[in-house]
Amino acid sequence: MSKVLVTGGAGFLGSHLCDRLIARGDDVLCVDNFYTGSKRNIAHLLGKTSFELMRHDVCWPLYVEVDRIFNLACPASPIHYQNDPVQTTKTSVHGAINMLGLAKRVKARILQASTSEVYGDPSMHPQMESYWGNVNPIGIRSCYDEGKRCAETLFFDYHRQHHLEIKVMRIFNTYGPRMHPQDGRVVSNFVVQALRGEDLTIYGDGLQTRSFCYVDDLIEGMIRLMDSSVEFTGPVNVGNPGEFTMIELAETVIRLTGTKSKLVFEPLPQDDPKQRCPDITLAQSRLDWEPKVALEDGLKETIDYFRSIV
């Protein structure tokens, strides 16, 4: 049994991670300030003796005794992180500093949940970990993109300067049950609109592409990275290389929900990337990981979840 800290543990990804850690016998401390996380996501864990919940903002230091730290704290959807961009940057940067400081004090291994957004609007396709990215440092998405890039810098500086055991994971578009219904991301947008009988909003011409990784696959990759050999730090891409246009995704959602919704088109938001697809060669070779859940199967589970709450 390990004592594991999960920051952002009441969020979409964090709550699924807590489930997996509890299931394998770890003792979990879930920390969240509930800016985007929800107690509903972890309510089923509250009665377990191996689970503890703490309301705390990672922008402030935390003094606990743990063996491992998963740093997932940060709003991840454009609507939420653009609502308070200064706080978003603080969460990524101050949060990384505080969690790295904790890891240094207690000699814990620490994993940073980074993002494919560090690649910006990429000129390389698919994106490999060696690609440095094409990021606008002063745009409306920069609070998140540059905050995560700075967090990666801090992780590697702590690794080089203080010999900290670090893992850096670049997460590509992930979907599944417990997504926030108003997070503004494309899967949740389409599913909620379809279930309400509303037209599905596509930004731009709908030919821009994304890769969609089901949450169970993503969490498996995260745990494998944390458990990997000490010399493998990453960064490593974890996502599904299957690529779909927005129109293809929308048409699949319409078919699976049985809605009579139509497609409507709106202008593309500033700095919205036109392509996003991971090269997962490194994850395959070093973690023996690749996604298993097909998009249609994962969407069925996601639609069932949203039916229960919308």
Radius of gyration of the chain (CA): 19
Angle at CA of residue 297, ends 294 and 298, nearest 5°: 85
* Predicted pLDDT at 212: 95
pLDDT of res. 184? 82
Q: Which residues of 33-53 are buried (b: 16+ CB within 10 A; e: fewer)?
A: bebbbeeebbeebeeeeebbb
Q: 90 exposed, middle or buried (CB, 10 Å; 0-12, 13-18, 19+)?
A: middle
The owner of tokens 């997932």 is 72
Q: Is 305 a catalytic residue?
A: no
The residue extents of the domains of the chain are: 3-175+213-239+277-292
Residue 170, both tokens: 């670049």
**Structure confidence at residue 276 (pLDDT):** 84
List average pLDDT for each run of 10 residues in the chain, which is 310 residues long. 95 98 98 95 97 98 98 88 91 98 98 96 92 93 94 98 98 95 90 96 91 97 98 97 94 96 87 82 98 97 94
Tell me how far CA of residue 283 lies from CA of 32, 128, 233, 277, in angstroms: 28, 11, 12, 14
Largest CA distance in the chain: 58
Tell me the three state secondary structure of residue 169.
strand
The single residue of 35, 81, 119, 144 carrying the catalytic annotation is: 144
Domain 3-175+213-239+277-292, classified CATH 3.40.50.720, yes or no: yes
Nearest Cα residue to 170 out of 228, 114, 120? 114
